[in-house]
A and B are shown apart, each in its own frame.
Chain A
Amino acid sequence: EAGVTQSPTHLIKTRGQQATLRCSPISGHTSVYWYQQALGLGLQFLLWYDEGEERNRGNFPPRFSGRQFPNYSSELNVNALELEDSALYLCASSLRDRAQHFGDGTRLSIL
């Protein structure tokens, strides 16, 4: 069974640009979660999608947004990139109240 897959592995952008990160959940999982892990910090919850709907979002500005597609894959969009957006972005999927399984992450670097 394939795990959670994220693309790209690395992404380099400059300030003010827009970034799109993608996530494919484990087959059958309907919930997708996005987390940000800045250098030296723990994971901060970003967004949660289930059945195509945004269920909850963390304490991040509106320029962090996303969506979930009918096949349950998801995109995270970050507009007007700032230097402090440099981080590892992790996607996780789960079956409702079961354990969340994570992908390998996308390392976003802002120059």
Chain B
Amino acid sequence: AQKITQTQPGMFVQEKEAVTLDCTYDTSDPSYGLFWYKQPSSGEMIFLIYQGSYDQQNATEGRYSLNFQKARKSANLVISASQLGDSAMYFCAMSQVMEYGNKLVFGAGTILRVKS
């Protein structure tokens, strides 16, 4: 069975500094995808970044980058130059590839608070 582990219940970071949110995963599938979502207090889930298991390079999207270490089964999210608006819950998720699409398995989440 697939499993996502986020070991940091909460994190603080100073505005304008970088922060790394940890995510480890467990799967026996050779093909999978790793996702990060942001959930502000308002509740909506915002897609941030995606990494495929066969991608050779780490994914980047603006201030977000994914530090993918396949051998260690980790997919940490790095947010550079933190902003106050980055304060939110962050979820790491893994897709279980199926015939017609993907089913996502989510970690427990990490609450990030950006301090001014």
Residues of A near any B CB (own CB < 8 A) = 31, 33, 35, 41-45, 48, 50-51, 55-56, 88, 90, 92, 94, 96-97, 99-105, 107
Contacts and interface: CB of A to CB of B under 8 A. Distances in A.
A102 B95 CA distance: 15
A94 B45 CA distance: 14
Query: Which secondary structure characterizes the binding site on chain A?
Result: strand
A43 B101 contact: no
Question: How many B residues touch the partner, as a band?
Answer: 20 to 34
**Main SS of chain B's interface residues?**
strand
B64 interface: no
A101 B104 CA distance: 12
Interface string B89-116: 0010101011111111111110000000
A43 B43 contact: no
A102 B100 contact: no
